[in-house]
A and B are shown apart, each in its own frame.
Chain A
Amino acid sequence: MTTLNEQARNQIAKVITDLQHKPGALLPILHGIQDRLGYIPPESVPMIAEALNQSRADIHGVISFYHQFRSTAPGQHTVEICRAEACQSMGARQFETHVKHTLGVDYHGTTTDRSITLESVYCLGNCACAPSVRVNDQIIGRVTPEKFDGLVDELRSQKLEVQ
């Protein structure tokens, strides 16, 4: 396990201090950490446990229950493919095959260049304009394989710019 750098540790500590007084603070804390770091580092579990006076097992149990929370760093962008019925009726199954093939990863996987992490999602509420995908916080409707490929190119070029 890589040890967390000082800056990340401080960010986690700040999220915990800011939110621990809230009733039912655990989910807001977990969201806060994942929003800032992209994931919930295992090192944060004992920190949260101590602040909330709960066991590490309790905290781990909550993290592992929810599909959204992850314990490893994601790629630079997260792409979620809707797998629910309304999207199925518009060809989501074939689309999902295309996406996995194009990116060369299955769900929960990250591309080798670490630009994209692929996740599934059950409904983005855009069911009248299916199929839908979510890229980070942006939802895109009536997506086609061609549209998706263009999107991936765009995301990868953004990564180059950052580098």
Chain B
Amino acid sequence: MSVKVYIPRDTTSLALGADHLASELAAAVLERGEEIEIIRNGSRGLFWLEPMVEVETSAGRIAYGPVETKDIDTLLDAGLINGETGHPLCQGLTEEIPYLKKQQRLTFARAGITDPVSLEDYQAHDGFKGLKKALQMDSQSIVNEVKTSGLRGRGGAAFPTGIKWQTVLDAQPTDGSQKYIVCNADEGDSGTFADRMVMEADPYMLIEGMTIAGLAVGADQGYIYLRSEYPVAHQILNEAIEKAEAAGFLGVDILGSGKTFNLEVRLGAKAYICGEETALLESLEGKRGMVRAKPPLPAIVGLFGQPTIVNNVLSLAAIPYILAEGGHAYADYGQGRSLGTLPFQLAGNIKRGGLIEMAFGLTLRELLEDFGGGTYSGRPMRAVQVGGPLCAYLPESQWDTELDYEAFQAIGAGLGHGGVVVFDDTVDMSEQARFSMEFCVEESCGKCTPCRIGSTRGVEVIDRIRNNENRDANMDLLSDLCETMIDGSLCAMGGMTPFPVQSAVKHFPEDFQKDNAETGA
């Protein structure tokens, strides 16, 4: 039997040449008269090592990375096919790489181990265990299990998932029976890629989670609202859905239970606001992605006016584990009211970027230093934005904060979707503050005035500050404007855009004082 060699097929690996590498490696091996079987797995999330090639040996998989096509000959000379460890790119046993070994992977337990669209691989690694259990349970018991887990929405708002599910379970559809499960896969925050990794490395987990949600509340139709910026995830999801249907895990009469759950992927069209759940529902209905006023909650009046669960990819992806192992097993991880694990995503100017799934409670500094290993540029770190474009920039004095929802709230920051973007000391924080406002101008749905007009005025005011025009008065104006947007906006877009701006002003005042006129705007 030929040796199994794994080369990932996720966006990051492909973006670094994995397809070309795979075909060149196959050709080189053939030329040497040897034989290998190349499996295109998902990524382990050790992105600084991508494309990471793994070779199966009796001791486990041996990793090599980052591998470029120019390395193929020396790797083969050094015994890659036998998993020999002499080559400088060899990282040893994959599972022993500290970055991976230190993690607590529940949601990402299978990521990079399996072929993402192989049903056999999925089942061999505990796949569909949760679904099979759920099929034996009544709706209320499933919802209770989710409540026990303490899972809170991983999209950013951290609302208790079990409570949301209970609301949908109890809600009465106006047309008699129709309820919906909607997966928010519009992962628009810069610095985040955990949803993408779920969909590209382990799509059946999301399918299973959504099916369980359908069973829990009595919904037979699900939609995955996927951003169009993720073409690879789109292709893998569609392939997985087709296979799951053909094998009876999805569609009518799931595993002979008589229960039905249909699932369809719908593409967004480059609109950040559609990550806001009510704008997302409008978009799914075929309209402009305009935010709805709440109440009514989507749980009661959601898609097409019917009771709807809208959950983030990571929330739904946590469900199979919770059902398979029990809510208590999940709640054993984490601390306080932040239970379970959160997949952090280390990005931007960082030496070792990637996905780190850990229980809540490690500090930001441990993440940046122990895992990240400092900046990519080698310069000192200066600012870290945690939680996406609507969350605060943190100065070094706050890096010892523990990563949990409450601790971050206490310092006026947020965890959001777990994205961490690192900047070195060349960053100009007044430029970053300007960008926060500019992004809001670009992406506001325009429904409410503080967001639509406030962001445009915000760009203008920051430009005046950067150009040294009437600085003190404009700083006061900016502060007022931020308060107005926070208090007066309809949703988080306008309501949170000021957070990065305020944090930049507060923690990096020197960048608003010096004369920035020469850099322009």
- Interface residues of chain A, those whose CB is within 8 Å of chain B, are 23-28, 30-31, 52, 61-62, 65-69, 84-90, 93, 121-130, 132, 134, 137-142
Task: Determine the distance from Cα of A125 to Cα of B187 in the docked complex, in whole angstroms.
Answer: 8
Kindly state the separation between the CA atoms of A127 and B231 in the bound complex, as whole angstroms: 16
Whether B190 pairs with A123 at a CB distance below 8 angstroms is yes
Q: Which residues of B contact A129 (CB under 8 A)?
A: 12, 15-16, 47-48, 50, 353
Q: Is B193 an interface residue (CB 8 A)?
A: yes
Residues of chain B lying within 8 A (CB to CB) of residue A88: 423, 432, 435
Q: Which residues of A contact B267 (CB under 8 A)?
A: 27-28, 31
CB-defined A-B contacts under 8 Å, sample of 6: A31-B269, A68-B269, A84-B389, A125-B230, A129-B50, A139-B232
**Cβ A62 vs Cβ B286 within 8 A:** yes
The stretch that binds A, out of B201-209, B341-349, B483-491, is: B341-349
A-B contact count (CB 8 A): 148
Residue pair B269, A69 in contact (C-beta under 8 Å):
yes
Q: How far is the CB of A37 from chain B (nearest CB, A)?
A: 15
Q: Which residue of B lies closest to A120 (CB)?
A: B442
Q: How far is the CA of A98 from the CA of B445 in the complex (A)?
A: 31
Q: How far is the CA of A109 from the CA of B345 in the complex (A)?
A: 33
Residues in B whose Cβ lies below 8 Å from that of A61: 288
Binding site for A on B (CB under 8 A): 11-12, 14-16, 47-48, 50, 187-193, 196, 228-232, 266-272, 283-289, 304, 345-350, 353-354, 376, 385, 389, 419, 421-424, 427, 431-432, 435, 439, 442-443, 445
Residues of chain B with a CB closer than 8 A to A90's CB: 348-349, 376
Question: With A27-B283, A129-B50 known to touch, is A68 a contact of B228 (CB < 8 Å)?
Answer: yes
Min Cβ gap B419→A in Å is 7
Measured CA separation A123–B284 after assembly (Å): 21
Identify which of B12, B349, B442 contacts A89 (C-beta below 8 A): B349
Q: Give the chain A neighbours of B288 by CB distance below 8 A.
A: 61-62, 65
A67 to B271, CA, bound (A): 6
Whether B421 lies near A86 (C-beta < 8 A) is yes
Chain B hits for A124, CB < 8 A: 11, 229
Find chain B residues with CB under 8 A from A86 CB: 190-191, 347-348, 421
Q: Assess A85 versus B389: contact at CB under 8 Å? Given A25-B286, A123-B190.
A: yes
B190 touches which one: A87, A137, A138, A142 (CB < 8 A)?
Answer: A87
A25 and B284 CA atoms in complex are apart in Å by 8
Q: Are A125 and B421 in contact (CB under 8 A)?
A: no
Q: 7 closest pairs, A vs B, by CB?
A: A128-B353, A26-B286, A84-B190, A127-B347, A141-B15, A66-B269, A89-B348
Beta-carbon nearest neighbor of B234 in chain A: A137
